[in-house]
Amino acid sequence: MNKVTITIDNQQVKVNEGITVLEAARELGIDIPTLCYLKDINEVAACRMCLVEVKGSRNLQASCVIKVSEGMEIKTNTKKVREARKANLELILSNHDRECLTCDRNGNCELQTLSDELGVKDIPFEGEKTCKPVDTSSPSIVRDANKCILCGRCVSVCEKVQTVGVLGFRDRGFETTVGPAFEKGIGEVPCINCGQCIAVCPVGALREKNNLDYVWDAIEDEKKHVVVQTAPAVRAALGEEFGLPMGTRVTGKMAAALKRLGFDKVFDTDFAADLTIMEEGYELLGRINNGGTLPMITSCSPGWIKFCEHYFPEFIDNLSTCKSPQQMMGAVIKSYYAEKNNIAPKDIVVVSVMPCTAKKFESGREELSVKGIQDVDYAITTRELAKMIKEARIDFVNLPNEDFDDVLGESTGAAVIFGATGGVMEAALRTVAEVVTGKELEKIDFEQVRGTEGIKEAEIQLGDIAVKVAVAHGTGNARKLLEQVKSGEKEYHFIEVMGCPGGCVAGGGQPHVSAKDRMTKNVMAERAKALYDEDEAKTIRKSHENPMIKKIYEEYLGEPNGHKSHELLHTHYVKRGQYL
């Protein structure tokens, strides 16, 4: 790539032609502030925080959009620049709900941080403020327009990354707001509840719907037996809420914290992930051998499922009928576990800790129940669990490592990688390959389906069958892949789709990551590494070898995809309207 010579703050350097001044500055360790900027997603210069002086230009320039050019001379820290940034920030704050102490993002807000860094002490532009009702129409997402700073990040991620596009700018001038068209609530439009809008919001304008009061009340209720389960991806990110480096694996500390919070049993959703592989693997073989609908597409991600129901209803028959691991675990707890321990299912409260806001929607679906009893009662996010731990004054970092409870706490390495894109596919292949061939795999790492590339393809030889597989993460990539299948351009036997970019490790319920960190760190790769490390550390790494999985089939379920399994562990999906 061609280089150009520029001068930034009296440093003469050569940088790649075509990059922005912001990128060039950060390569040199010069930190230019931003609020609206998200690399490759939202580069619109709306907030005007990244202004710089460029020699020869009469006006200050937005460094996130202006490209470097030969001989350019830039100043990032003059009095004129500092005063302009501060004035722009004060204007943003003048129409912002500044109840920081009661805000969901207090202490973890990019606007709050920037106000401190730029030395904002008062707001000289006090005047009329917009006052909008808080939108609580969604089971997963709360939207508060009074905290919105009109940065457009949520609009861009919904449109460009997820290709859902239910958020946009409404009205003009001082009346401008962000939300669905026609003043609709977010629960009244084809939102898929993925929470990626929450993940990129720099303030508290978007947050998950909080279920903690219900969970605390259940724990306090002596008549209820409260069981908690934790998804694979939670262990790869929870530590960030307590100051640990990104990608730190905290499985043992997490189990210890949950026990101290007062849950009656602490189980691992990884057990149900192993169960999902048994059901989904045998379902795939059944479809291949018996002329079933192909390609079969995974059904573990509720955001993806809702996306399919809204935008690709013609593929509903392609979806695996398996419930997600969250729902399978709930169903097993309220049947097998309840019978073994002589507890009435109605007296059991199942709480799920998930990296995903769409799990809140999923847990309330009437299709995901058995005999009128919901599989899961409450789904909380990784962030919500962190709040519980902090509220209980638990010193998380110094907790000992403890194990999950038996029997539903036993899992394999195949289960833990469910949290990363390609993980479900790899886990399934480890089991299906050995079932088909009757031989033990020489190498169980299917690296061709790993990585953060948007769409991955592979052809796996399983005995006499050459199985064509594909993996997509983020619904924008899923859309692209399904359009290729629909047109006949691509043909597969098995497709894994995760609704969030990178899979569950970067789900909408995971700890917030600032735009600055997103620019310098590969969040999905660092968190995924923690899961692959745990997989490698496991003694058993194939779902069908989990002794507790064998036990539940022998004692209760009978056989994979059998009558009992279908009654408890399988479901159906519905066509939904796409338009407003």
H/E stretch holding 351 reads strand 348-354
Greater pLDDT, 276 or 465: 276
359 has catalytic annotation: yes
How distant is the alpha carbon of residue 163 from its chain centre? Answer: 16
Q: Given this structure, which CATH class describes domain 3-77? A: alpha beta
260-316 pLDDT, tens digit per residue, is 999 999 999 999 999 999 999 999 999 999 999 999 999 999 999 999 999 999 999
283 has catalytic annotation: yes
159 has catalytic annotation: no
- Which value, in Å, is the radius of gyration of the alpha carbons in the chain? 25
Provide the 3-class DSSP secondary structure of residue 497.
Answer: strand
Provide the 3-class DSSP secondary structure of residue 460.
Answer: strand
504-552 pLDDT, tens digit per residue, is 999 999 999 999 899 889 999 999 999 999 999 999 999 999 999 999 9
Instruction: Using alpha carbons, select from 417, 414, 431, 437 the residue that is nearest to residue 529.
Output: 417
Q: What is the mean pLDDT of the chain?
A: 95
- What is the residue-wise DSSP string for 138-170? SSSEEE-GGG-----HHHHIIIIIS-----EEE
Tallying the residues shown for the chain, one arrives at 580
Instruction: Using alpha carbons, select from 363, 359, 355, 361 the residue that is nearest to residue 333.
Output: 363
Of the residues 23, 241, 283, 410, only one is catalytic, namely 283
Of the residues 241, 334, 504, 534, only one is catalytic, namely 504
How distant is the alpha carbon of residue 271 from its chain centre? Answer: 20
- Residue whose entry in the numeric block shows the structure tokens 């009757």: 438
Of all residues in the chain, what percent are helix, strand and coil, respectively (each to 5)? 45, 15, 40
Query: Beta-strand (E) ranges in 410-513?
Result: 455-462, 465-473, 494-498
Residue 524 main-chain phi, psi, to 5 deg: -65, -35
300 has catalytic annotation: yes
Of the residues 320, 335, 363, 543, only one is catalytic, namely 320
Q: Is 115 exposed, middle or buried (0-12, 13-18, 19+ CB in 10 A)?
A: buried
173-230 pLDDT, tens digit per residue, is 888 899 999 999 999 999 999 999 999 999 999 999 999 999 999 999 999 999 999 9
Cα separation, 104 vs 117, in Å, equals 20
Of the residues 27, 83, 367, 491, only one is catalytic, namely 367
22-62 pLDDT, tens digit per residue, is 999 998 999 999 999 998 899 999 999 999 999 999 999 99
- Residue whose entry in the numeric block shows the structure tokens 């001989």: 71
Instruction: Using alpha carbons, select from 180, 50, 169, 151 the residue that is nearest to residue 92.
Output: 151
280 has catalytic annotation: yes
Of the residues 64, 154, 300, 308, only one is catalytic, namely 300
188 has catalytic annotation: no
Specify the DSSP class assigned to residue 119. T
Report yes or no on whether pTM surpasses 0.85. yes
392-425 pLDDT, tens digit per residue, is 999 999 999 999 999 899 999 999 999 999 999 9
Check pLDDT > 50 for residue 580.
no
Domain ranges of the chain: 3-77, 93-208, 213-569
Instruction: Using alpha carbons, select from 2, 22, 573, 31 the residue that is nearest to residue 305.
Output: 573
Of the residues 23, 53, 241, 362, only one is catalytic, namely 362
506-519 pLDDT, tens digit per residue, is 999 999 999 989 98
Could you tell me the CA-to-CA distances from 108 to 195, 472, 499 in Å, in that order?
17, 31, 25
> Same topology for domains 3-77 and 213-569, yes or no?
no
Specify the DSSP class assigned to residue 118. T
CATH number of 93-208: 3.30.70.20
Q: Given this structure, which CATH class describes domain 213-569? A: alpha beta
- β-partners of residue 296 are 494
Token output for 536 = 């490698």
Check pLDDT > 80 for residue 127.
no
- β-partners of residue 348 are 225
Of the residues 147, 265, 306, 359, only one is catalytic, namely 359
Check pLDDT > 70 for residue 579.
no
Instruction: Using alpha carbons, select from 394, 392, 415 the residue that is nearest to residue 504.
Output: 415
Q: Taking phi first (over 0 means left), then psi (-120 to 50 degrees means alpha), and beta for anything else, what does residue 9 get?
A: left
* First-last CA distance in the chain: 46
CB atoms within 10 A of CB 259: 18
Specify the DSSP class assigned to residue 324. P
H/E stretch holding 274 reads helix 269-290
